Structure 1
Amino acid sequence: MNSYINWNEVQIDPTSDAEINALYDQGYVFVRIGKNILQQTRSVRIKLADFTLSSENRRVLRKVENLSLELIKLPISPDNYDWHIHKLGKDFYNNKFGPGIFTASRIKTILTTQELNFNFLLKYSIIDQNCGYAIAYSNSSIMHYAYPFYDFEAYPSNLGMAMMIQAILYAQNEGREYIYLGSVRKASDIYKLQFKGVEYYQKDQWSNDIATLKQEVFETPSI
């Protein structure tokens, strides 16, 4: 499989949101290897002032009617934590990427301790039935949408994309400037590039030349 793109790594003492925002603007994102660690990668973000729903985005949302989003502050106390969350995450990542990629114990640790910087759990429901989650970092200017997982057996194939669109709309409605969607390193990540206002970080600058990126990704051999 393709290795994760990591051009540089920093560990900071985040004293202000402005410091974190500046690093995200240089292609860095929080990762799950340790507290206050950010890696510089081919980050993807949407400038929310330029975002509008496309006809395809609307079609996806129509396919997943009654999808609702709730933000839960992290960490979750042990008394309020539901073990079904990490079971769903483990099953999802085992099925999609193979055993050990994202374990149940690791998911629980991220959600119930302050070991990492992610500070919100995005909880998705359809008619009061929990169907999916994503882990996020958010402040008044940016949101980083990361590590989504959902019940892929019980719900339609459009659910994952609908969850991402809902997060984008939430960030826009809450006045965020950007939402970050992770990185693009292989062909299966191309779906992140379909949105209006999207751009990606290429070593030293942001670019909206999506055609060139798609060509590079499809021509890069697997490792």
Structure 2
Amino acid sequence: MKNLLIRNVKLRKWTIVIYAILLLISPLQLVIENNSIITKVMYSLVAMILLFVSVLDSGHTFRLNSKLGHAKAYDFFGSLPVSKKEMLNANYITLILFTLIGAGILSLFNVPNSNVAASDINIDITLPYSYIAINFFAIPIAFKKYSEQKSENISYLMYLLVMLLIIPIIAVLVTLAVLMLFNIKLTMLDYFEPVFNYGFLALSIIFLITNYIIQYKKVN
């Protein structure tokens, strides 16, 4: 499994470089005041990098699968003298490791959260939490058969659109419909903010663990 982990890390070398750069420059935001054109440009560049990382690295298992060789990856590596259990564990460790590191680095910066607002209602969907949840959902949804074999009918772009846009919008609309149906004040929507943040994250963890148990039983 050690060699599989090394393989996965090497395939993510550019991600590691970006993470390292962000980690090194994170203390600068505490000592540099954003009151000049140069610093504003610098902050804008960092914000663009953070946006790039948070979007492109959401569901980074798709990117790893692409570098491994897409659909044929599992057939190839499954033919090598490694056990399926080692492949499963290596991919789960890689997913969790890069996800937590990415979320940790994003949390070091003052990243604007996704915001849903209407009159007195204001809901912030915290980026690091949603980043972890979207990545944790990737394997149960798109790699539920084997952790290196992607479902052919699920594309990376479609996954991002559904997880980043469609599901949050639907969740808010359903919550609004329930409040209106039972004639509850819309300001009560503020109390659902922890549900959107922690509930989505908790659900992703449950799905990830459940899928691991199912896959482990299949390959063991």
TM-score tier after normalising by the smaller chain length: under 0.3
| TM superposition score normalised by structure 1 | 0.25
- Larger radius of gyration between Structure 1 and Structure 2: 2
Q: Name the one with the larger strand percent.
A: 1
